[in-house]
Amino acid sequence: MPDKPAPAHDAIAAEVRATLFPKGSRDKPRPAAALQFLDALSFQEQQDFLLTFSSLAIEGNLIARLCHDTLQKFMDGKPVSDRFALRLAWEISCIKTRTPPDSL
């Protein structure tokens, strides 16, 4: 029988959800919230995540490659799909809180 998640994990998961699912939109993530989250990252954080995703993409990680390409487009000011912006924000949020994406 799997152990219940620790209370700290629940708090982190709630914080990640609150980032991408603002109050009143629990069933659908908001792309605007994802873009605000990405825009709030400092230049250094963006560069660090770009390096992280590129390193993982070299190893054959498809999600990392998509996140790298999406972040690069975002940093270059090019249009980014809502779907990809949400996934990128979700992955970065999980990395920052050290929470596995599948556990949310």
Give the pLDDT confidence of 50-76 residue by residue, as tens digits. Answer: 999 999 999 999 999 999 999 999 999
Task: Count the Cβ atoms, other than its own, within 10 Å of residue 72.
Answer: 15
pTM of the predicted model, to two decimals? Answer: 0.69
Structure letter (DSSP) for residue 21 = S
Q: Is the pLDDT of residue 104 over 80?
A: no
Burial zone of 29 (CB within 10 Å; 0-12 exposed, 13-18 middle, 19+ buried): buried
